[in-house]
Every structure is written in structure tokens, then in C-alpha cells.
């Protein structure tokens, strides 16, 4: 009993309003290629990346018309005929992440850097994503969801969670080190605060703006808070907050280039700048002299591979990271984007599809 049509939020062009359709076709089981699966979604998170896709402000073109969304959770209702050795079955509850599919054969895939596969398919960007009731995804890349997490709780770990988990995992920090998180009150940032404290044993300086984000970050385990709009000297404030010498790492999860500008100045020598937030066509603008003399590591970190996604979810299932979320209907998508643009979304918005 798979319906022929569904509700879906469609970006027809980068400046037209989002079109919520009731009669978008559902790909039927007999239309699935080998390796594809059809998933009936319970819910999906809204990531700032979806807003970049909606606006078309990245140097990488998206498909159009486009159904955005890449933090979906739902049940597999069909698998393409002639699929060989599927790791998942009909009835399994799985997640759809940004990396929908990759070739699994190239050097990047063999090394576990499948995010950078030249043939990668991106959910809600180069293939239709999860802002719909049904989505077609790929058996080799969907992520099994631990049974003790609800779909709503799990959704944002498929992008926000796995991304910050991986960035911290390769941050060259040790337990007890300080990490500063500009963007700490947003979707990625508030999960980064928790992974940093509860999984990696780091001490957190949270940087963002507004009372609500301050309260959330401190509740989630940040030791220090700095409001970037109120600080008169951000470099000094961040250094002071991190014991005087500055943090050992900066995980920049803000969607603004200004959040990167002073990182090399406030980082401790030997420190790591984790480049995560993706403002449009911006440059990092790090001073070469101090990058060299302070031996700064600049590390670009792009979502995570299949194993990172499982690890990020396992840690969430242990209760060590929880998504602070507001549940809304699909029809709220445009206003969610407006809030994100204005910086008023605290934590994450998750859209219910049921
Ligand atoms: O793989 C990746 N690297 C990856 C994965 C997923 C998302 C990268 N991203 C990118 C998104 O495309 C986006 O550019 O990370 C960025 C943040 O995504 P998000 O967490 O989903 O966005 P949000 O919920 O809007 O949170 C952003 C926060 O940044 C704060 C805002 O107040 C908000 O709370 N912020 C901004 I904008 N400028 C700031 C600044 N200068 C700042 N915080 C501190 N200093
Ligand atoms: Zn995302």
C-alpha cells in the first residue's frame, strides 16, 4: 500500500518561494534500480546546509527543481529488484544522511573518505532529499537507527551529529584540552558542546549570541560562554576563557566567515582550526606568518563516513548527546529558514512527516 503521490517541499528555483505540493509522485518499488531503497519517512531535521541549497549560495550547483533535506529517519518499505548483498532489509528503521551514495571503489572510498568520492550523491542537493513523505536512497549508505532512540531524537545526528563528532575525532586534541565552538547554540554547535564534553573529555568555550543560546550551552556542559555580539575583544576573551593561553582547538560551526577571522590569533600554539561551517563563497583569511610560527593545523572536515555515522549515533543512544529540538510540520519550512537566517533557531528544528 504505497501511495502514488505524496506531500513534498520543492525548490523550483533559487528565488521562488518553496512550493509545498500534495501530489508529488512517489517512485514505486518496481521503478527502483538495484541498490536503491524506498523509505517512508517519520521526520527530518532542517540543517543550515538546506538553506544554502535553497539559496544557491555555494560554488557547487544543486539539482533543480530540488527536494532538500538530509537528516531523515524512516522505515524501508521497498528495495530495488536484483540488489546484491544489502546490509539492510525491508522494515528496518534507517537514517538518510548528506552522503546518499558513493562508488565504494575509488581511492577515497577505499580509504574511508567516501564523502570526497568524485561520484558521491548528496541527499537534498544532487539527488532529492527528505523534505517529503517518501525518499529513494541507497542500501549501502543508509544508517541503521539504534532502537532506544526515537526517530525525532535520532534525525539530527545524521548530519549535525556525525559532522561535529568526526571533526572532534580528528582534532588532534587530548582529554582536558580546551575547544572553542563559535556557533555553539546552533544545530551543529549544540551537539558539538556535548560530544566535546561527554565523549572526548574536552573543556568547552561556547561562542554565540543571545540569552537562550547561552542558557542551552551552559546547561549542555560548556564551562564558559562568550556572546560574540557583546565582546569588545574576542581574541582576548577567548584566550582568557581557555586558561589564558587560548584553546587547543576551534570548531567553527557558524555559517558566517567572520567566525573564522581571528581563530589563528586566539588558538594556542600547535592548535587546530576545524573548518566546519560553510559560509557561501568565503575565504578563511588566516595570517601565514602566525599559522607557521604557531604551528597551527587547519583541518577541513566534511560530514563523516558510514562508520562515523554509526559511532555518532551509538554515543547518542548512550545518552551522551541529545538533540535540543522543536518539532514542526513540513509546511513550516519557509519560516524555519527565515529564523535560521536571522539566527533565532536554538538547537534544531525537526519536521514531522506523520
Ligand atoms: O560537513 C560539514 N562541514 C558541514 C555539515 C553540516 C553543516 C557543514 N555544515 C555547515 C552548514 O552548511 C552551515 O554553514 O555548518 C554551518 C552551520 O550549520 P547549522 O549548525 O545547521 O546552522 P545553525 O543552526 O544556523 O547554527 C549556526 C550558528 O552560528 C551562529 C548563529 O547564531 C547560529 O547559532 N553564528 C553566526 I551565523 N555567526 C557567528 C559568529 N560570528 C555565530 N556564532 C559565533 N560567532
Ligand atoms: Zn547538514
Helix (H) / strand (E) element for 265: namely: helix 263-266
Q: How far is residue 199 from each of residues 53, 160, 193, 322, measured CA to CA in Å?
A: 31, 16, 10, 12
The answer to whether domain 5-159+304-352 and domain 171-300 are alike in fold is no
Tell me the ipTM for this assembly: 0.99
Residue pLDDT, tens place only, 189-199: 999 999 999 99
CA angle 87, 300, 238 (to 5 degrees): 125
Regarding the domain with residue range 171-300, which homologous superfamily does it belong to in the CATH classification?
A: NAD(P)-binding Rossmann-like Domain (3.40.50.720)
pLDDT at 285: 84
Residue pLDDT, tens place only, 290-303: 999 999 999 999 99
Q: Residue 304 CA: which ligand is closest?
A: 1
Global pTM reads 0.98
How sure is the predictor about 281, in pLDDT bands with cuts at 50, 70 and 90? Answer: confident
- Residue 303 near residue 159 (C-beta atoms within 8 A): yes
CB of residue 133 inside a 6 A radius of ligand 1 = no
Residue pLDDT, tens place only, 80-124: 999 999 999 999 999 999 999 999 999 999 999 999 999 999 999
Mean pLDDT, residues 5-10: 98
Q: How far is the CA of 49 from the centre of ligand 1 (A)?
A: 9
CATH architecture of the domain with residue range 5-159+304-352? Alpha-Beta Complex (3.90)
Q: Domain segments of the chain: what residues?
A: 5-159+304-352, 171-300
Q: How far is the CA of 256 from the centre of ligand 1 (A)?
A: 7
pLDDT at 107: 98
Q: How far is the CA of 137 from the centre of ligand 2 (A)?
A: 16
Amino acid at each position: 500500500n504505497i501511495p502514488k503521490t505524496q506531500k513534498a517541499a520543492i525548490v523550483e528555483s533559487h528565488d521562488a518561494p518553496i512550493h509545498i505540493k500534495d501530489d508529488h509522485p512517489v517512485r514505486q518499488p518496481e521503478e527502483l534500480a538495484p541498490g536503491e531503497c524506498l523509505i517512508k519517512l517519520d521526520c527530518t531535521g532542517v540543517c543550515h546546509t538546506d538553506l544554502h541549497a535553497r539559496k544557491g549560495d555555494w560554488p557547487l550547483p544543486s539539482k533543480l527543481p530540488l527536494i532538500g533535506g538530509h537528516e531523515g529517519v524512516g522505515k524501508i518499505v521497498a528495495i530495488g529488484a536484483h540488489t546484491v548483498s544489502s546490509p539492510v532489509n525491508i522494515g528496518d528503521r534507517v537514517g538518510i544522511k548528506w552522503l546518499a551514495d558513493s562508488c565504494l571503489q575509488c581511492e577515497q572510498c577505499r580509504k574511508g573518505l567516501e564523502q570526497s568520492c568524485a561520484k558521491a550523491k548528496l541527499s537534498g542537493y544532487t539527488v532529492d532529499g527528505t523534505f517529503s513523505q517518501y525518499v529513494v536512497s541507497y542500501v549501502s549508505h543508509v544508517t541503521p537507527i539504534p532502537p532506544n532512540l526515537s526517530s525525532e531524537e535520532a534525525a539530527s545526528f545524521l548530519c549535525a551529529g556525525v559532522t561535529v563528532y568526526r571533526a572532534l575525532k580528528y582534532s588532534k586534541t587530548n582529554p582536558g584540552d580546551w575547544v572553542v565552538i563559535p556557533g555553539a547554540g546552533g544545530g551543529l554547535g549544540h551537539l558539538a558542546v556535548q560530544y566535546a564534553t561527554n565523549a572526548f573529555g574536552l573543556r568547552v568555550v561556547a561562542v554565540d549570541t543571545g540569552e537562550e543560546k547561552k542558557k542551552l550551552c551552559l546547561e549542555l556542559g560548556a564551562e564558559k560562554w562568550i556572546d560574540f555580539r557583546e565582546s569588545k575583544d574576542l581574541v582576548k576573551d577567548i584566550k582568557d576563557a581557555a586558561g589564558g593561553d587560548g584553546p587547543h582547538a576551534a570548531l567553527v560551526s557558524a555559517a558566517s566567515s567572520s567566525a573564522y577571522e581571528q581563530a589563528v590569533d586566539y588558538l594556542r600554539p600547535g592548535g587546530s582550526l576545524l573548518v566546519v561551517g560553510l559560509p557561501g563563497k568565503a575565504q578563511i583569511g588566516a595570517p601565514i606568518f602566525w599559522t607557521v610560527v604557531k604551528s597551527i593545523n587547519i583541518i577541513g572536515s566534511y560530514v563523516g563516513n558510514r562508520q562515523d555515522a554509526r559511532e555518532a549515533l551509538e554515543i547518542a543512544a548512550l545518552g551522551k548527546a541529545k538533540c535540543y529540538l522543536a518539532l514542526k510540520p513540513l509546511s513550516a519550512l519557509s519560516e524555519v529558514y527565515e529564523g535560521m537566517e536571522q539566527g533565532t533557531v536554538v538547537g534544531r528544528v525537526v519536521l514531522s512527516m506523520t
